[in-house]
Amino acid sequence: MKLMLINSPNKSSGHNTNYALFPPIGIIQLGTRIKQDYADKVDVNILDGGLSTTGSIMAEIDRYHPDVVGIGVLTPTYAEGLKIAQHAKKGGAKVILGDDHAIFFPELILKNRPEIDYIVANDVAEGPFSQLIRALLYQRSLDKVSSRVYRADSGIQANPSTPYFLKDQNTVPDLALISNTLGTYAQNYNEAFGHLKSKQIKPVTINNARGCENLNRCTYCSIADLMINTGNPKQFWDTVRSYHENFGINLFFEVYDSFTASPKYIDGLVTSLPKDLENLIAQGDIELMVYARALGLLKRDNIGKLYKIGVRAVNIGLDAGDTTILEAQRKNKTTLETNLDAISLLSQRGIIIHASFIAGALGETTESLETTISHIESIAKASKFSAIEFSRFIPLPNSPAWDLLVDFEDPKFYKSPDEIKLELAIRGISIPPHIRDQLKDQYKEADLLDIEELASDWFAHFTHIDENYAVERINDVNETLSSFNIRTGKNVG
Confidence of residue 14 (pLDDT cuts 50, 70, 90): low
Is pTM, for the whole model, over 0.85? Answer: yes
Would you say residue 311 lies in a domain?
yes
Confidence of residue 173 (pLDDT cuts 50, 70, 90): very high
Would you say residue 200 lies in a domain?
yes
What are the tens digits of pLDDT across the range 270-304? 999 999 999 999 999 999 999 999 999 999 999 99
| Cβ-Cβ contacts under 8 Å for 127 (sequence gap 6 or more) | 146, 162, 164, 169
Local structure of 477: helix, strand or coil: helix
Predicted confidence (pLDDT) at residue 340 exceeds the cutoff of 80? yes
Cα separation, 386 vs 421, whole angstroms: 39
Cα separation, 57 vs 49, whole angstroms: 8
Contact 360, 405 (CB under 8 A): no
C-alpha 47, offset from chain centre: 18
Q: Which of 304, 307, 451, 302 is nearest to 391 (CA)?
A: 451
Contact 1, 32 (CB under 8 A): no
Would you say residue 379 lies in a domain?
yes
Residue 492: per-residue pLDDT: 43
* 354 and 244 assigned to the same domain: yes
Contact 452, 468 (CB under 8 A): no
Would you say residue 322 lies in a domain?
yes
* 321 and 202 assigned to the same domain: yes
Q: What is the mean pLDDT of residues 336-342?
A: 95
What are the tens digits of pLDDT across the range 21-70? 999 999 999 999 999 999 889 999 999 999 999 999 999 999 999 999 99
Cα separation, 349 vs 304, whole angstroms: 8
Residue 19: per-residue pLDDT: 83
Question: What are the phi and psi torsion angles at 487 (to 5°)?
Answer: -70, 145
* 225 and 319 assigned to the same domain: yes
Structural domain harbouring 34: 2-158
Instruction: Return the CATH number at 136.
Output: 3.40.50.280
Round the CA-based radius of gyration of the chain to a whole number and report it. Answer: 22
The domain boundary, picked from 158, 193, 228, lies at: 158
Cα separation, 90 vs 80, whole angstroms: 16
* 279 and 191 assigned to the same domain: yes
Predicted confidence (pLDDT) at residue 15 exceeds the cutoff of 80? no
Cα separation, 233 vs 231, whole angstroms: 6
Predicted confidence (pLDDT) at residue 16 exceeds the cutoff of 80? no
Q: Which of 191, 256, 176 is nearest to 21 (CA)?
A: 191
**Alpha helices, DSSP H, located in 91-230:** 100-104, 106-112, 126-137, 182-193
* 472 and 357 assigned to the same domain: yes
What are the tens digits of pLDDT across the range 356-371? 999 999 999 999 999 9
Residue 169: per-residue pLDDT: 80
C-alpha 231, offset from chain centre: 19
Question: What are the phi and psi torsion angles at 125 (to 5°)?
Answer: -95, -10
- The torsion of the CA quartet 472, 372, 220, 205, rounded to 10 degrees, works out to 90
The CB-side HSE value for 10 (13 A sphere, CA atoms) comes to 15
Better-scored residue on pLDDT, 296 or 168: 296
Confidence of residue 491 (pLDDT cuts 50, 70, 90): low
What are the tens digits of pLDDT across the range 231-259? 999 999 999 999 999 999 999 999 999 99
Cα end-to-end distance, the chain, whole Å: 41
Instruction: Return the CATH number at 251.
Output: 3.80.30.20
Number of domains in the chain: 2
* 198 and 73 assigned to the same domain: no
- Over 286-308, what HEC string results? CEEEEEECHHHHCCCCHHHHHHH
Beta bridge partners of 7: 48, 72
